[in-house]
Amino acid sequence: MSDPLRLLFVCTGNSARSQMAEAMLRRIAGPRVDVYSAGTESAERIHPMAVRVLEEMGIDASGQHPKNVELFVGQPFDVIVTTCDEAREHCPFFPGEARREHWSLPDPAEATGTEQERMDAFRSVAHQIRERTLALSRTLEAAPQDGPSTG
């Protein structure tokens, strides 16, 4: 069996979008992909509404926590996905020839209104992430799994 692909989701705070993407892809792809997430300016905790939305989807994110992208600098990845425009602008260089994708997703943590309206914003973004992670998973299935390029 070949080594799993390594994938990193990068966002600004690593408290909502990238955390949801990490949890969803981990669930969808299983052991064939090592999935990580990080933020360019990591938050103190995962946003509670992100955790709630994942729970509604049957995904346990209790073991996840925000991490700074600097923890991963120097490590090779097969795929790097930025989940917001700011992260794309501030994402550090990673070695190798990683495939790069950019998902310009709204930040549900900036939603205002009632708790229901804010939860709806998280659900909307989670739905977008789910669709994108399903599509990404299909493209990863077609990719050779020789592990990350160290070139």
Q: Quick check: is 99 catalytic?
A: no
CATH of region 5-137: 3.40.50.2300
Handedness of CA 119, 131, 4, 40 (dihedral sign): negative
How are strands ordered across the β-sheet holding 5-11?
33-39, 5-11, 79-82, 99-102
Q: What is the pTM of this model?
A: 0.90
Task: Report the mean per-residue pLDDT for the chain.
Answer: 90
Q: Does the structure show a pLDDT above 80 at 95?
A: no
Catalytic, out of 49, 54, 91, 129: 91
pLDDT reported for residue 143: 61
Q: Quick check: is 108 catalytic?
A: no
> What is the residue extent of each domain of the chain?
5-137
